[in-house]
Structure 1
């Protein structure tokens, strides 16, 4: 995805129809799938309210009934405000724990999504850099799946956006045992990955290894270290 809202919307429309034809009940796009600016802060210039034209277009697409034609330093804090809440929501494929990209490096957030918010599926839309993606992307995703016993759906930006920015790609779907059950043919492909989300398998993994009952609260470890 690059800095062309119309072209990105056309690509999303095509992929959405392909996914719907394949029987997908939930479609997950990468972080910043609608727009990736050339310069830091460019996204602010095209920002709209949640009820603005861009979001309304994507909401219409989500109803499946609209034909829409067709080694750098990243300091997102300079133009992006962090979230204040940990959020999980119910969906047709289970209870979704919401996260994004860099959150992947903070396992305590995913622990809260699992053990306090009862997530069954973790969403990790991302635009990882090529250097960090090559080193950490897949192993961190599998770790989050294993330690929370959740499915992980990680839709990833891929390829060169402009002269200054490139994303690693490698879209993955991982089951609660840490097994990769969906992956694009190569990490830079533009396309869809479809996998079944089997909530009975989530239950099975959790019953056989009941970490929710066995885990100790943080206060326990504080006391033990005194």
Structure 2
């Protein structure tokens, strides 16, 4: 069993204004034990509720990280299976929304699954599902070779959904490197808060994690909530950590003091700040339509 320190980090902005609503982001070190991971999630949910959060975001692979090839496939279940139903019950009993990024949803056959981001409301009902579009098929310099597409079916649909903390743009991990998805979420789907549950490798996280997250916030003028896996899951796999919440101006407003600890961060989503940033820097009015770029090419 992995034991990690639990930490709660709050922003100083605790105004009771109606334009503010609190969100939490969890960091954890999931292992290949469904019960252990669920118990960790339950504890972090309790901390989020006590902190006044209306939604808590968990990282990719929150419920399970396999220690050997094929292990994730062996535990994959449909969304109405017992694993997800336990989390639905947790949301209902705790009266809080859950963002469950990177659930191993059973695919069309025994050799494939879907990497699915599930949003559960505070009554325990699944409100929305997003299946990860961009597959992590990468030879990490100085690290391992990853081939997510060998066992995962890529998604096709962009997903945004209304929630108590604003209109959410739903993504997973490697999607972060593809800004056009986030542009679609903001400008075609009116997202206000972008969710990025992740399990970034240590090497890629050190190089690009915060930079990419802040860039997505700046170019979309959205809050970005990035919940991360952290530390060593097993002998073969280690995640970077560094759970962050970033405001629409690109400022980091909340992060865990310890990059690899287990715990939550919270911040207030300020809808007046979103409106202010967007009105003062009206990029939605200045963007060129897609056919503009086609017309200037030769």
TM-score category by the smaller chain?
A: over 0.9
SS in 1 for 2:35: helix
1:73 paired to 2:145: yes
Out of 98, 119, 124, the residue aligned to residue 196 of structure 2 is: 124
Picking from 76, 81, 86, the partner of 1:57 is 86
> Which of 38, 51, 57 is the equivalent residue of 2:67?
38
Structure 2 equivalent of residue 212 of structure 1: 284
Contact 1:98–1:123, Cα closer than 8 Å, also in 2: yes
- CA shift, 1:199, in A, is 1.1
Within 2, Cα distance between the matches of 1:104 and 1:37?
23
CA distance in 2, matches of 1:116, 1:40: 38
- Is 1:40–1:79's contact at 8 Å kept on the other side of the alignment? no
**Alignment-derived partner of residue 179 in structure 1:** 251
**Which 5+ residue runs of structure 1 have no aligned equivalent?**
none
Instruction: Report the counterpart of residue 3 of structure 1 in structure 2.
Output: 32
Q: Which residue of 2 aligns with 1:111?
A: 183
Which residue of 1 is the match for residue 114 of structure 2? none
Unaligned runs of 5+ in 2: 1-29, 96-142
Which of residues 77, 85, 88 in structure 2 aligns to 1:48?
77
After superposition, the C-alpha distances for 1:54-113 in whole angstroms (9 at most, x for unaligned) are 1010011112349xxxx1111111111111100000000100000000000000000000
Equivalent in the alignment of 1:16: 45
Task: Tell me, yes or no, if the aligned pair for 1:17 and 1:64 is still in contact at 8 Å.
Answer: no
CA distance in 1, matches of 2:227, 2:87: 17
Deviating 4+ runs (over 6 angstroms): none
TM-superposed deviation, 1:222:
2.5
- Higher mean displacement: 72-81 or 103-112: 72-81
Q: Secondary structure at the match of 1:191?
A: strand
Counterpart in 2 of 1:86? 158
2:260 aligned residue: 188
Q: Matched residues in 2 for 1:74 and 1:89: separation?
A: 31
- 2:197 pairs with 1:168: no
**Corresponding position of 1:224:** 296
User: 2:46–2:94: 8 Å Cα contact kept in structure 1?
Assistant: no
Aligned 8 A contact 2:49 2:94 in 1: no
Q: CA deviation at 1:224?
A: 2.0
Per the alignment, in what secondary structure is the counterpart of residue 219 of structure 1? helix
Q: As a proportion of its length, which structure holds more helix?
A: 1
Root mean square deviation of aligned Cα: 1.1
